[in-house]
Chain A
Amino acid sequence: MTLRGIHAVFRVECIKLAAQAKTRLALAACVAGPFAFAAVIRLQSSLPEDTLFGRSVQQSGFALPLVVLGFAALWALPVLTSIVGGDLFSAEDRYGTWSTVLTRSRSRSETFAGKTLTALGFSVLAIAVLGVSSIAAGALVVGTQPLVGLSGVLLAAPDALRRVALAWTTALAPAAAFTGLAVLVSIVTRSSVAGIALPVGLALVMQLFALVDGPEPLRRLLMTSAFGSWHGLLAEPRYYAPLVHGIAVSAVYFVVCIASAYWVMQRRDIGR
């Protein structure tokens, strides 16, 4: 396995992705979605009060990206991370192209690493686009007024912006874990439907479990708990324990999923 080989696979996969309507549509939705949401908020009087910061969306533009983050964690982020990760490997099964891919000068490990990197890259890109777009939508449509945080403290615009950007950054860890899961499901089942539907379904199930008043250590072990780990960043004093737990749990999920996916891929009998 060489870096050059991985890079070659990565480049080819990126070119393939850029040509797909699916990825373009997803990224376009990431850009347009927050602006559409902001426009709706401006036009109507009812507020999304059941989401954190939903009450503040008309007072401060910094509340909007946090409401979007809260909403997105329910299903949009699992979907965004699995539409590429859950399809990248199984697409080769669907088109029956594994034998042509693997008879090229790139080894199986290089193909695996390159494709996994592409999946991760897309997840990071989608979250970055959605985050930047929702921060921009809040600032442009509502304004940059100070934000009332989760401890009732008024956060001035630069401080609020920093915390909101950090909050969006925390979504990267669980997103990587979901990408790993999608890659694993996609390799094991050889089905893109399963590769996308299973991680999204699991995310919904985990969130239902999180609603049950179970023991705290168990709740923290759920992949989706990390999506809420930004709450501490908006409190005063800030608390970071859920964030650290979230990153650790996501890392374990990611490593286990990717290692198992690699193991299955290496032992797969390809060619028919």
Chain B
Amino acid sequence: MNWRVNRLFRVIRAGLLVVAACAASSCGASPITSGRIEAALAPTFAHLVEVQVDWLGLPAMTAADFAVTASCRKLAGGAGSGEWGCTLVWKGPQRQTLTDSYDLFVSADGCYTATVATENLGGPLLKAKNGREVRNLLYAFEGCFDTT
């Protein structure tokens, strides 16, 4: 039985070495690019503002009304998973132009967690018009995008 286990381990080890060598020499560009992140973050943020406005009991607006644009760059430069910083420019409920920054952690599978880095979107909880406390969706949120 021992030689069988050894052979199996050898095959597995060889496979892992190939994967490791390929990963180390980056035989292909990372699919985590600023374009993909921006294209995912801007509409997600807009949809969340729409839900948040509804939860707060404010007059309804649609995601398109907020005209969100995002620009993202990786803190360490280049592309790939890790820490990213994004700036969102959007139109508030009174048509004023707003700018907010988010810290993103993007993982290799194309999912990210965004945490607000500026102060003007409030804390983790907000008070709705009817006095109830609701979760501030814009304080921290997550999303995924296609990496293929």
Residues of A within 8 A of B (CB): 49, 52-53, 55, 59, 148, 150-154, 185, 188-191, 194, 198, 202, 205, 209-220, 225, 228, 231-232, 234-236, 239, 241-242, 245
Contact = CB atoms under 8 A, between A and B. Distances in A.
A150 B137 CA distance: 12
Interface residues of B, number: 47
A49 B147 CA distance: 23
The interface residues of chain B, by DSSP majority, are classed as mixed
Given A152-B44, A152-B48, A205-B16, A214 B22 contact: yes
Given A218-B22, A228-B109, A245-B148, A150 B1 contact: no
Given A205-B16, A209-B19, A228-B109, A151 B47 contact: yes
A214 B23 contact: yes
Contacts of B32: 213
Nearest to B12: A202
B144 to A, nearest CB: 4
28 contacts: A55-B140, A59-B135, A148-B48, A151-B143, A152-B50, A153-B51, A154-B54, A188-B8, A189-B1, A189-B4, A209-B19, A209-B20, A210-B109, A211-B108, A213-B30, A214-B22, A214-B23, A215-B23, A216-B28, A216-B30, A218-B19, A228-B109, A231-B111, A231-B144, A236-B47, A239-B146, A242-B146, A245-B148
Contacts of B135: 55, 59
B40 interface: yes
B122 interface: no
Nearest to A218: B22
B44 A215 contact: no
A214 B24 CA distance: 7
B143 A235 contact: yes
A151 B108 contact: no
A189 B8 contact: yes
A234 B47 contact: no
Nearest to A239: B146
Contact of A152 (B12, B20, B30, B141): B141
A245 B109 CA distance: 13
Nearest to A202: B12
Contacts of B28: 214-218
B31 A190 contact: no
A152 B144 contact: no
A218 B143 contact: no
A215 B5 CA distance: 30
B30 A215 contact: yes
Contact of B29 (A148, A153, A215): A215
Most A-side CB within 10 Å, residue of B23, B27, B29:
B23
A219 B54 CA distance: 39
A140 B44 CA distance: 29
A235 B146 CA distance: 9
Nearest to A229: B109
Contact of A210 (B16, B43, B108): B108
B96 interface: no
B111 A188 contact: no
Contacts of B22: 214-215, 218
A154 B135 CA distance: 14
Interface string B6-47: 001000100010011011001111111000000010011111
A189 B5 contact: yes
B69 to A, nearest CB: 16
A268 B18 CA distance: 30
Contacts of B27: 215, 218
